Structure 1
Amino acid sequence: MTSAAARDERRISPVFLGLLAVMAVSAWAVWTGFADGSAFAVFLFVTSAWVVSLCLHEYAHARTALHSGDTSIGEKGYLTLDPFKYTHALLSIVLPVLFVILGGIGLPGGAVFIERGRIRGRWRHSLVSAAGPLTNVLFAVVCTAPFWLHALDGVPRPFRYALAFLALLQVTAAILNFLPVPGLDGYGVIEPWLSYRIRRQVEPYASFGLIAVFAVLWIPGVNAVFFDAIDALLRSLGVQEFERYCGLDAYRFWEERDPFCLMAR
């Protein structure tokens, strides 16, 4: 492979740069309350930041796979951060965004296609799977940093609420992705350590893992336990429930705003 071809394979996509631009401009609009359109700006900011995090999630998988032995990653376009290059663009981008819009929950995205036969060593296989959700963890740490560092003085409330809601998405995505369920990254972490017989028995169910998770979360008791755990974790990081709620309220700009959140501005 020539150096020019290698550079092309790793050149950041204009699509991703466009997403960063939308995120930056909408973040500025939320911060300044530009044209009193902070609600729609919150929608743009959170959505673009969420898609950026999904791209980084997939990039982390791909980059780790590259350094673990899968040299085919570059030619597939995964290192360009272009969301349209992913094997499962619907699962990786479209459905997670729809779940945010409809339910306010961070849905794990579909994985990039990695040629596992090129990778040697169980630890490397586990690290490739863990790299994606660890990116969500890092994103959550960045979003919550102003809260646990007590650095919110001067931060406009709409921007604070948007960060709180974005942190909720990142935390739910990280936790869901780390579940040891076939089809999710958490199972990919432990799969190399399982016996061949168990892996063969589980393999047919991998495509139904995410569906099963959401079916279980539909059970009221399980749902309550799950979101109580999310709430406790975010509270420990200084993000309060009303901040997340007002972030979601602002995000849904097409609905009537809650007077409590409007007064809190």
Structure 2
Amino acid sequence: MTFAATPRSRSEDRRISPVFWVLLAVLATSGWAVYAGYGNPRFGIFLFVVAGWMVSLCLHEYAHARTALHGGDLTVGAKGYLTLNPLKYTNALLSFVLPIIFVLLGGIGLPGGAVWIERHRIQGRLKHSLISAAGPLVNLVGAVLILVPVGAGWLDNPKVHAVWNGYELQVSPLALALGFLGMLELSATLLNLLPIPGLDGYGIIEPWLPYKTRRAVEPFAPYGMLAVFALLWQPEINHWFFEAVYGVMDLLGVDRLYSQLGHELFMFWKD
């Protein structure tokens, strides 16, 4: 290998993947179609939300990897984690398949952990905590960026109104789609911050726990996400959780009906 080839290799490691560009193209195209009233609005909302959610998942994992890079794990580039390519992540099932299934089944936003960080390369408990916190922070920022314009009414199109159960609503279908997507981002933030093994919330506090505690909890980490999803199927817990999510939406000026109607329209197969 020549000296000149080294910088080129690093550039390849950080070049945005064509797969991510395709996701952005689907997001932009479906968003325009929903806003303009072009095509089947319910299927357009479905495409828009799924594409937006997958983009969010990529950014979530990228945030973990980028923070790890600055923390001392230089291997994340060679693994392809900085290209925003979902096919490079260690477990596509946990990272994309299950989170999308969760959205389809229950309208719950729950990213899965997928980037393999070589923790032994990173010195300092604070750095380890920041790596785990980076993903939920991306979801929180995404929720704010999505919901604030919706609450302010900036995305309403007076010429195109959503239709639900035969009734024309005085709101843009894009605003409802974004209300649902923003709710997914908020739910992902709150769920990921729970101190449960396998979720980022536990990753934040894990470096500060005694060694024996960490070793005892480690075998349960692969099942943390599934356990949370099972708990959310319990009506009382589900009600409490979504009340918390809708409370945050209220603070951002978005009525919960935006999310609920957006979810209904998202399920185009239930006509």
Normalising by the smaller structure, the TM-score range is over 0.9
User: Is 1:177 aligned to residue 192 of structure 2?
Assistant: yes
User: Is 1:158 aligned to residue 161 of structure 2?
Assistant: no
Instruction: State the shift of 1:153 in Å.
Output: 5.2
Query: Could you tell me which residue of structure 2 aligns to residue 80 of structure 1?
Result: 83
Q: Aligned to 1:98, which of 98, 101, 104?
A: 101
Q: Aligned to 2:229, which of 200, 211, 214?
A: 214
TM-score by length of 2: 0.90
Could you tell me which amino acid in structure 2 is paired with residue 211 of structure 1?
L
Q: Aligned to 1:21, which of 22, 25, 34?
A: 25
* SS of alignment partner, residue 78 of structure 2: helix
Query: Could you tell me which residue of structure 2 aligns to residue 262 of structure 1?
Result: none
Query: Could you tell me which residue of structure 2 aligns to residue 261 of structure 1?
Result: none
Could you tell me which amino acid in structure 2 is paired with residue 136 of structure 1?
N
Equivalent residue pairs, number = 255
Instruction: State the shift of 1:183 in Å.
Output: 0.6
The C-alpha deviation readout for 1:116-164, integer Å capped at 9, x for no partner, is 0000011100000000111100110111111344535547510010000
Contact 2:96 2:111 in 1 (8 A): no
User: Is 1:245 aligned to residue 248 of structure 2?
Assistant: no
Query: Could you tell me which residue of structure 1 aligns to residue 11 of structure 2?
Result: 7
Identity %: 56
* SS of alignment partner, residue 34 of structure 1: coil
Could you tell me which amino acid in structure 2 is paired with residue 132 of structure 1?
G
TM-score by length of 1: 0.92
Could you tell me which amino acid in structure 1 is paired with residue 135 of structure 2?
G
Contact 1:148 1:238 in 2 (8 A): yes
Greater shift, 90-99 or 51-60, is seen at: 90-99
Contact 1:108 1:176 in 2 (8 A): no
CA distance in 1, matches of 2:56, 2:67: 16
Q: List structure 1 runs of 4+ shifted beyond 6 angstroms.
A: none
User: Is 1:140 aligned to residue 143 of structure 2?
Assistant: yes
* Structure 1 unaligned regions, length at least 5: 257-265
RMSD: 1.4
